[in-house]
Amino acid sequence: MQLRGPRAAVAVAIVIIVVGVGVGVGVGPAGGARAWAGETSAAQHLTVFREPSSSNAGVTVIHPQTDVDTTLGSAVKLAAGYSVDIVSGATPAIFGVDAVSSATKFSDTRQQVRGSLGYTRPVADVTVGYSYGWEHDYRSHALTVATRSDFADHALTLDLSFTHNFDRVCDRNNDAAVGNPLERLALVKSDHCFEGDPLIATRHLNIDSLEPSLTWAVTPRLLVQGGGTVQIVDGFQSNPYRRVELGSAGRTPQESLPSLRQRYAVFGRGAYAVPGIRGSLQGMLRVYRDTWAVQAYSAELDFHEYLTQFLILSALARIHSQVGAVFYRDARGYRLNGPVGQYWTGDRELSTMQNTLFGGKLAYLRVPEAGARPFFNEIEVGAKFEGLFYELASSMAPNADRRRAWIGQLAISLRF
């Protein structure tokens, strides 16, 4: 059952989007308030994620996303957005040796509204943003402050961003199992979450993220960027529904994860223009560590080329390799050896694994010719398709029945 709060938020989101588009149309070329109006843009993206399973229905996520922004005067920028995750499929409630056969169907809808206010000057800008996300068993409030400053005749750009999340997670009331995680029971369904039911508990999760980056226009053809992320996650981080089979006696307590996680990532990337073919090549390397001992490396290569004056072809290849959390074991390991201390997980993202992603995109980008007076300044229509392939370290790893995923995206954006 949906709560009244989310419904009200949806209404607010729709109003924001409608007002945003209305303001945009009003201040566009046909409007009468051009003296104070800048540019307005609206974008609609539809992403479909499909991860088939060899044993059950797999997972499907449909993700529509709407964003609008407008500039008031020469310095103020307003932005608003709304997105939805419509998730359905089958997933095992118990991570164990027979996990796949015990998969149960599920469906949920996650929604998010967001807005931001920016103040822009010729060499710097600052933006303050807020987002609210909700689903039956999760609530998230996030505040973001971001700045961008140009130095050295715009050759260097320093970006700083800080975000704090105030999240709440619905969980089974496990007061009777305090101090003994083996006795913890999993949440069965999301009914009565956040309603004061004594059998249901609300857990808190606070996330602080700091992201600095520096961009440098090195030569007329080369652009480089470096930076990192520091994130501190403090609170309930387990999947409240997931149980993990431990030992040979068949105990299946709720997943148990540490309440504190500190994550660190650094990256470097570059973009190089190849004017001879009207193309560009972009590359990225990233290193990640956290206090759960997850270590990861990611590398990405992108190629973009104008096929015609208005048509851009992009190709993407990405590889990600990670070492799992120190308390991770596969299903056989948990059955034969039991847990690692007081923590256990059935989460694929905490396992040792590698994935590769290949994709392509075609974008039609149209800017009016000189002398033309259409209602828009720029229009872009894009279609993207990607394949994601997992290589797990064990056939008894989480989601071992789901070895690949397909991602499709359609996008249209308009500036006027």
Partner 1 sequence: MRSPSSSERRAGAGSTATATTGWRRLLRALALALAAASVATGCGHVGVKAHQRELLADRIMRFDADPQERAADEHVLANREGAIGGTGTSGGGCGCN
**Among residue numbers 246 through 305, which ones bind partner 1 (CB under 8 A)?**
246-247, 258, 260-267, 269, 271, 273, 275, 279-280, 282, 284, 286-294, 296, 298, 304-305
Nearer to partner 1 (CB atom), residue 200 or residue 384: 384
- Residue with token string 């004056």: 309
Give the Cα separation of 110 and 102 in Å (integer). 25
């809808």: which residue's tokens?
109
Q: Which is nearer to partner 1, 31 or 64 (CB)?
A: 64
Residue 91 CB-density burial (10 A; 0-12 exposed, 13-18 middle, 19+ buried): buried
Applying CB under 8 A, among 216, 236, 376, 385 the residue interacting with partner 1 is 216
Q: Choose one: 17-25, 98-106, 193-201, 320-328; the region binding partner 1 (CB under 8 A).
A: 320-328
Q: Count how many residues are written for the chain.
A: 416
Chain center to CA of 317: 19
Query: Minimum distance from CB of 386 to partner 1 (Å)?
Result: 8
The answer to whether residues 394 and 410 touch, using CB atoms and an 8 Å cutoff, is no
Nearest distance in Å: CB 154, partner 1 = 3
Shortest reach from residue 83's CB to partner 1, in Å: 8
Among the listed ranges 13-21, 23-31, 193-201, 225-233, the one in contact with partner 1 (CB under 8 A) is: 225-233
Smallest separation (angstroms) from partner 1 to the CB of 245? 13
Q: Does 333 bind partner 1 (CB under 8 A)?
A: no
Site string for partner 1, 191-210 (x = CB under 8 A): ------------------x-
Restricted to residues 41-100, the positions that interact with partner 1 (CB under 8 A) are 43, 45, 47, 49, 61, 63, 65, 67, 81, 85
Question: To the nearest 10°, the Cα dihedral for 291, 293, 294, 295?
Answer: 110
Residues 142-171 interacting with partner 1 (rule: CB under 8 A):
148, 150-157, 159, 161
Chosen residue from 11, 18, 123, 143 binding partner 1 by CB under 8 A: 123
Q: Residue 167's CB: how many other CB atoms inside 10 A?
A: 18
- Of residues 370 through 409, those in contact with partner 1 by CB under 8 A are 380, 382, 384, 388, 405, 407, 409
Alpha-carbon distances, residue 180 vs 234, 241, 253, 260, 351 (angstroms): 20, 18, 10, 18, 24
User: Residue 195 CB, nearest distance to partner 1 (Å)?
Assistant: 27
Those residues with Cβ within 8 angstroms of residue 54's Cβ, 6 or more apart along the chain or in another chain = 401, 402, 403
Cα separation, 130 vs 270, in Å, equals 30
306 binds partner 1 (CB under 8 A): yes
Nearer to partner 1, 203 or 286 (CB): 286
Q: Is 368 in the site for partner 1 (CB under 8 A)?
A: no
How many residues contact partner 1, by CB under 8 A? 109
Dihedral angle of Cα 8, 9, 11, 14, to the nearest 10 degrees: 180
- Answer for which of 88, 102, 229, 252 binds partner 1 (CB under 8 A) is 229
Question: How many whole angstroms separate alpha carbon 248 and alpha carbon 359?
Answer: 43
Nearest 5°: phi and psi at 7?
-60, -40
Sequence-ordered list of residues with C-beta below 8 angstroms from that of 407, at least 6 positions apart, any chain:
47, 48, 49, 50, 359, 384, 385, 386, 387, 388
